[in-house]
């Protein structure tokens, strides 16, 4: 439902349902301090529609902000609501009991993609959190900027990639981040420096002394600095990386990419395969026979099936090799809906 003055009453009832902490009097009297939300709000939204595994329970509420300003207004109008920000859901397992509070989906909305500056040595790109990584790779190539080609095969958003330090084939997004743009729980938008984070393999954390004093925050976008390159070479590289993926990954079945991080000096896929787990399944979830670090939904998997298979793989690998496989995918939500 798009918020406008005609359906303000409907909005009141939705917001009340959602236990939003805003004054009903303000809404009913049309108090001008309350900006009208321009995004779309849904209730009881199946998260299976928004995750690449195509499983998961319902979110109490699901908000698609119209743009960054609208996201700010939404956050300011719902100060007590529990918020989960997602991109394309390509690294997410939402449990079957679903998510309480509001899921805010940024993909395709915070989609500003601009060349900020360019000179002989390179250029600076701004990409909103909702822009698909593949779009950034093609945009950079078109402007003769090198080093973003690896993003072409990552089926997530810039926001998700920043949160995960997504990467492949020897490159990671934070290697090209000049400054992330942040939106915090109060709806303030500001810039941080890359040096304020501890960046690791698929891990990004605000430095400890900062986290103890601040409110929750999310990536609203990022400034990416790239060296000068050649368009044809970048396009060639993108093509080559995409072919490599099609050859090695089960892209015809719902999945969430690599389930586990590679342990130091080894590969999760090698360990899983060595333990004879390729093709192993629980319910509709199966360890892909094509790539052992992928778990695929063969058609009727539940999040419970997938999580049980993740635990089984971890335990079998630990038993056989003594190595602990740590998850790369994020698991969120309630195991079972409480009534
Ligand atoms: C076929 C396939 C191949 C893949 N290959 C790769 C690969 O090569 N390398 C790789 O690194 N990953 C890979 N992935 C995993 C996934 O695409 C990446 O982790 C991607 O960066 C996730 O982006 P997303 O927008 O889908 O994030 P989501 O899955 O929507 O979210 C992931 C996490 O980030 C958080 N998040 C999302 N947006 C924001 C934001 N704006 N601010 C703060 N937190 C946010 C979410 O809350 C969640 O915790 C692959 C996945 C698939 C399905």
| Residue span of the structural domain in which 100 resides | 5-105
Is 202 catalytic? The answer is yes
* CB of 163 closer than 6 angstroms to any ligand 1 atom: yes
pLDDT of amino acid 23: 36
Q: For residue 258, indicate whether it is catalytic.
A: yes
CATH of the domain at 32: 3.30.43.10
- How far apart, in whole angstroms, are the C-alpha atoms of residue 199 and residue 206? 9
Token pair, residue 10, equals: 């409907």
Residues 237 and 119 in one domain: yes
Return the best residue to mutate from 54, 67, 89, 156 for the ligand 1 pocket (most ligand atoms within 8 A of CB).
156
Residue 255, in any domain of the structure: no
Same domain, 186 and 307: no
Q: What is the DSSP string of 248-314?
A: HS-TTS---S-SBPPPTTS-HHHHHHHTT-TT-EETTEEE-SS-TT-EEE-SS--HHHHHHHHHHHH
Q: Does residue 289 sit within a domain?
A: yes
Rg (CA), the chain: 21
Q: Along the chain (339 residues), what's the average pLDDT of each consecutive run of 10 residues?
A: 45 45 40 77 98 98 97 96 98 98 94 96 98 98 98 98 96 98 97 96 88 87 98 98 96 98 97 98 98 98 98 98 98 80
User: Looking at residue 209, what is its pLDDT?
Assistant: 73
The answer to whether 281 is a known catalytic residue is no
Residues 140 and 101 in one domain: no
Total-model pTM: 0.92
Of the candidates 57, 74, 105, which is a domain's last residue? 105
Same domain? For 154 and 75 the reply is: no
Q: Which residue has the CA at smallest separation from atom 8 of ligand 1? A: 168
Q: Could you identify the atom of ligand 1 that is nearest to the CA of residue 219?
A: 42
**Ligand 1 within 6 A of CB of 106:** yes
Question: Which of 248, 281, 315 marks a domain boundary?
Answer: 248
Mutate to test the pocket of ligand 1, among 75, 160, 303 (most ligand atoms within 8 A of CB): 160
**Residue 334 within a domain:** no
Question: How many domains would you assign to the chain?
Answer: 3
226 burial class (0-12, 13-18, 19+ CB within 10 angstroms)?
buried
Are 170 and 215 in the same domain? yes
**CATH code at 123?**
3.30.465.10
State the pLDDT at residue 204: 97
Domain check: are 152 and 221 in the same one? yes
Query: Are 26 and 143 members of one domain?
Result: no
Q: Do 96 and 118 belong together in one domain? A: no
Using alpha carbons only, give the angle 205, 209, 189 rounded to the nearest 5 degrees. 65
Write down the catalytic residue from 48, 90, 258, 288.
258
Count of all residues that appear for the chain in the document: 339
pLDDT for 33 equals: 56
The CA distance from 68 to 178, in Å, is 20
Residue 337: per-residue pLDDT = 57
* Domain match, 127 and 205 both: yes
pLDDT of residue 213: 72
Tell me whether strands 83-86 and 99-105 are parallel, antiparallel or unpaired.
Answer: parallel
Distance of CA 243 to the CA centre of its chain: 24
Ligand 1 centre from 91 Cα, in Å?
4
């Amino acid at each position: 439902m798009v918020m406008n003055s005609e359906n303000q009453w409907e909005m009141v009832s939705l917001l009340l349902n959602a236990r939003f902490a805003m004054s009903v009097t303000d809404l009913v009297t049309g108090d001008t301090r309350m900006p009208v939300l321009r995004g779309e709000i849904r209730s009881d939204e199946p998260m299976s529609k928004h995750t690449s595994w195509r499983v998961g329970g319902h979110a109490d509420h699901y908000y698609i902000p119209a743009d960054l300003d609208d996201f700010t207004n939404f956050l300011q109008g719902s100060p007590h609501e529990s918020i989960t920000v997602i991109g394309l859901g390509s690294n997410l397992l939402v449990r079957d009991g679903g998510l309480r509070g509001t899921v805010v989906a940024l993909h395709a909305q915070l989609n500003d993609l601009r060349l900020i500056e360019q000179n002989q040595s390179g250029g600076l790109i701004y990409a909103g959190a909702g822009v698909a990584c593949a779009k950034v790779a093609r945009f950079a190539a078109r402007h003769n900027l090198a080093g973003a080609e690896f993003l072409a095969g990552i089926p997530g958003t810039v926001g998700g990639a920043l949160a995960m330090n997504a990467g492949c084939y020897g490159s990671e997004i934070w290697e090209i981040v000049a400054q992330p743009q942040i939106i915090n729980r109060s709806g303030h938008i500001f810039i941080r420096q890359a040096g304020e984070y501890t960046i690791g393999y698929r891990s990004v954390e605000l430095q400890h002394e900062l986290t103890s004093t601040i409110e929750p925050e999310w990536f609203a976008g990022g400034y990416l600095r790239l060296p000068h390159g050649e368009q044809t070479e970048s396009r060639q590289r993108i093509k080559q990386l995409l072919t490599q993926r099609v050859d090695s990954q089960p892209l015809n079945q719902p999945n969430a990419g690599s389930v586990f991080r590679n342990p130091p000096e080894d590969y999760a896929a090698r360990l899983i395969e060595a333990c004879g787990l390729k093709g192993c399944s629980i319910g509709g979830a199966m360890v892909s026979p094509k790539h052992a670090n992928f778990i695929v939904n063969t058609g009727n998997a539940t999040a419970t099936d997938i999580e049980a298979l993740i635990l089984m793989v971890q335990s079998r690998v630990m038993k056989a090799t003594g190595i602990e496989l740590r998850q790369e995918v994020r698991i969120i939500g309630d195991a079972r809906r409480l009534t």
